[in-house]
A and B are shown apart, each in its own frame.
Chain A
Amino acid sequence: QVQLVQSGAEVKKPGSSVKVSCQTSGGTFSTYVISWVRQAPGQGLEWMGGIVPVLGTANYVQKFQGRVTITADTSTSTAYMELSSLSSEDTAVYYCARRGDSYGAEYFLYWGQGTLITVSS
């Protein structure tokens, strides 16, 4: 059974950076896209980007381009999302998510538990 376990909640100052981890177990890590999805309080879901760990290349939503970096460590089956230049608008729950195993299953079958990032002075 695939499980994604994320790092804990953090409070950050405006202008700082945050790095959230997502450790996976079960299933295959290296060849399947790991995505990051965020949800501001009371708002909907927003895909930020994703990475294929074995390739090390990431796709980002243009909105976050230049501020977000998604990386992966295949030796520990852990993906990371780092967001810089934080503002109060970045206060949200950040989820990592993985696609299904079968052909074409690019939807998000497996999810982490979410990490609340609060940006406050």
Chain B
Amino acid sequence: DIQMTQSPSTLSASVGDRVTITCRASQTLSGWLAWYQQKPGKAPKVLIYKASSLESGVPSRFSGSGSGTEFTLTIGSLQPDDFATYYCQQYDSYPYTFGQGTKLEIK
């Protein structure tokens, strides 16, 4: 199975900050990586797919990059609505696996 490791586990930041979350895969991916945002009591929502493609309707302050085993999610200028938990997920091969999550908190 492909293990996905996110860092940091918790991130404290302020509105307007630029933040980056990293996701490392235990094996090389063919770019089939997605990023999700989840708020308490809600289902996850996809932000980025295929490592760097922005899902329709997602604000352009979200961006993804990376290849191989290292990927990043960047939020260009934090808005109040962005404080949530973020997960990466590989869909390169079964079983699909998620990172453990990064909780983005208000500083």
* Residue ranges of A at the interface with B (Cβ–Cβ < 8 Å): 35, 44-47, 49, 59, 61-62, 95, 97, 100, 104-109, 111-114
Q: Please name all residues of chain A whose beta carbon is closer than 8 Å to the beta carbon of B55 when the two chains form the complex.
A: 109
Residue total for B at the interface (Cβ-Cβ under 8 A): 22
Bound form: Cα–Cα A100–B94 in Å: 17
* Residue ranges of B at the interface with A (Cβ–Cβ < 8 Å): 32, 34, 36, 38, 43-46, 49-50, 55, 87, 89, 91, 94-101
Docked-complex contact B50 and A104, CB < 8 angstroms: yes
Docked-complex contact B95 and A62, CB < 8 angstroms: yes
Given A59-B94, A104-B32, decide whether A44 and B43 contact each other with a Cβ distance below 8 A.
Answer: no
Docked-complex contact A45 and B50, CB < 8 angstroms: no
Nearest CB in chain B to that of A100: its residue: B49
